[in-house]
Every structure is written in structure tokens, then in C-alpha cells.
Amino acid sequence: MSHALELFLELAAIPSPPGSERAVADRVLAELRDLGLDATEDDAGERIAGDTGNIIARLPASGPAVGGTPIFLCAHLDTVPPTDDIAPVVEDGVVRNSRDTILGADDKSAVASMLAAARRMVEENRPHAGVELLFTPKEEVGLEGAREVDLESLESPVGFVYDHAGPIGEVVLAAPSSISIDARFTGRAAHAGMHPEEGRSAIAAAAHAIADLRLGRLDDETTANVGVIAGGTARNIVPEHCTVVAEARSHDDRKLADLVHEMTDSFTFAASVAECEVAIELDDKYRAYRFRADDLPVRLAFEALAACGFEPRGVRAGGGADGNVFTARGRPCVNIANGMTRIHSADEHIAVADLDAMVDVTLALVDAARRA
């Protein structure tokens, strides 16, 4: 059993929903310190209402005639919340969960591959221009850990995340901006059987608003979704409160702004018609990016993938990753597919061969950066 597979099986079995990554973080810290690396954890956990901060470990540049470009590698420690135990098994060369919930390949497969590559670098005394390993919490709920990273503490000018569910070889050249929309409707409670006319249903107002929204894929750049609606207190009470949790994404920031304005107008209008009030909160989760083929991190990614026998190809993603945050803040960070499949579902899986291949890709990235 390869070290990457061994690590992944161990990490995947440890539940780590957003805000509760402590046990996984401790295992990662133990692995880093076993390699003799300088590993630190910041205080981001306190600022994002979690139990874990960002973990950073450094491998100082080494080898003859050291030059090139230092790089950082990033993966997140959290998963979407599992609905059952996680009991990973290997069947026909593929890792799956034997229970009916997520596996956690997103993103613990990346964590395992990066750590396994770091071990080989240390044990084989491989020359490199400097590598920093960054592990973030609360990625799944809005890239919260990444948003708290002190980028001035990183020496590397460019980075890579392995957080794209696709076949190895895909490199995300463009990712969208995302804005979350939380709408809280307030009506008036009343007995639903005795005095319904005195009530003002917050749920009915929210429902009317949602019915007017354009949802799903709006064009090849833009999507919108209502993910949660919750309200009411009892079957026989006209509901006084209802919350709607929605989002909008687009590769075009003008389209995104217009869509968010349209959605908030729908909420406001539906509330007024129902004689309710609505409070709307917007959160700019992350900003879009677009790389060119000749940008340094793209060139390094393509070179490393080709060196490992994969056909590099640029793709456009519909989701965000920690790389969106770093790129927007001046540290270009490319997202690379690592073979995980059907993430966030009970059929989530990853091939053992892909886990091991990403160790080789990581080492090839390090080699390419040393020559850059």
C-alpha cells in the first residue's frame, strides 16, 4: 500500500465538517512534524467560529545551484457534512465509502497526495526552489479559512490547489465569482384556524419570491440557486418568519451584479405584496479569475502534467476554490484536477492510481518550478 493511499484511508475516516476539523488537523500536523518540517497554525479558527486555523509548513530551498520559483500547494481539511459514518474501502483499485454518505476525497485526497510528496522530497533529499504547504479549514462554506490567510507570511509568488473534480490533466483556467444571498422574511403570526386573516405568512411571501426567480443554468457563464428555505413554528400558526438561502455565480461580474439585483428585487416585491418585511444580506464569497496559457502557474502545471504522461487541457469551472481567494489577492493560484469523482454524493470515489499519480505530479511541479 502506497503512503498516499494509507494516509488517505486514515484521513477520510475522520469526520471533519466545516468548523470541526481539529482531529484531521492534528493528524496532518503530526505528519508534518514527523518529517521535521516547521509547521505552524494561525488563529483563523477564532475568527471564523471554528476549532482549527490554517496550517502552514515550509520546505526551505535545497540542492545545488538553487534558483527557480518557490511555490505553495494548498488543500482544504473540511468536507461537506457526512450523513453517516465514513468507512473507506478499496474495491477493484477504487476507494469508496462503504456507508451511504460522502467519502471525503474532496479534499482529503489532495491532502494525502501533497503529504506523501513532501515525504518523498525529504527522504530522497530532492532539490527544489522552496515549497510551502497550506491546509485550510471551512472551505466548503465559503472559502473562509483561505480568506484569513496572511499572504505576507508566504514566500511563494504562485500556488496550486488540487480541488477540481475531473480527470487528471484538467487545469482550471477560469472560475466564477459568487455572491450569497440570505433573505429573512418577517410577517405576522396568527392562529391558522381561528384568525388566519390577521396573519401575514412569511413562508407564502418567500414562496412567491422564489417562484419569480430565474434559477439553474441561466447561460454558459451564469447560475443561480436557492439551497435552503426554512420557517414556521407549528402546523396551526401562520408563520411569522421564513429564511431563504440562495446564491448566484457568474464568470462575468456585470451579469452577476445584474442577477443579484434582480433576485433582491424579487424578494422585496414579494414581501411588500404579502404585507411582510424582508431583510437581505449579501456576501461576496469570491471573485472570478481567468488565466492565460502563458501565465507562470499554468505553464508549470502543463509542464508537470505532460512530464507525468497526462495530456494537459484548460477548462472553465462552475465552482470556486481557495485559489480564487489567493488569485484575487495577488498570488496567482491554479486549480488542478486530481481525479476525484462525484464529490458531495454517496457515490464519491477516487482511483488509487490517481492518488499515487498526483504524488508524481506534485514532484514534477516542484521540478518545473526549480527550473523556472
Cα four-point dihedral sign 264, 269, 274, 275: positive
* Residue-averaged pLDDT of the chain: 97
Q: Is the pLDDT of residue 78 over 90?
A: yes
Give the CATH class of 3-175+288-371: alpha beta
98 and 184 Cβ atoms separated by less than 8 Å: no
Q: Predicted confidence band at 65 (pLDDT cuts at 50, 70, 90)?
A: low
Among 137, 83, 89, 154, smallest CA distance to 326 is for: 154
Across 186-202, average pLDDT: 97
Q: What pTM does this model have?
A: 0.92
φ/ψ of residue 359, rounded to 5: -65, -45
For 179, what's the count of Cα atoms within 13 Å in the CB-facing half-sphere?
22
Non-local CB neighbours of 268 within 8 Å, separated by 6+ positions: 278, 280
- Considering the chain, tell me which residue range(s) the CATH 3.40.630.10 domain(s) occupy: 3-175+288-371
CATH code for the domain defined by 177-286 = 3.30.70.360
pLDDT tier, 115 (very low <50, low <70, confident <90, very high otherwise): very high
279-338 pLDDT per residue, tens: 999 999 999 999 999 999 999 999 999 999 999 999 999 999 999 999 999 999 999 999
Catalytic residues: 78, 139
Q: Each residue of 16-49: pLDDT tens digit? A: 999 999 999 999 999 999 999 989 999 999 999 9
Nearest to 136 by CA among 72, 53, 73, 43: 53
Which amino acid, residue 168?
I
Decide if pLDDT at 67 tops 90: no
The Cβ of residue 93 has, within 10 Å, a number of other Cβ atoms equal to 9
> Which of 68, 107, 152 has the alpha carbon at shortest distance from 326?
152
CA distance 81 to 61: 38
Find where cell 476554490 sits.
321
Write out the residue limits of the CATH 3.30.70.360 domain(s) in the chain: 177-286
Q: Is the pLDDT of residue 63 over 90?
A: no
Mean pLDDT is lowest, of 65-74, 149-158, 190-199, 327-336, for 65-74
* Distance between CA atoms of residues 223 and 120, nearest Å: 42
Please report where in the chains the cell 461576496 appears, as a residue.
284
In this structure, how many other beta carbons lie within 10 angstroms of the beta carbon of residue 277?
16
Expressed in angstroms, the distance from the first to the final Cα of the chain is 34
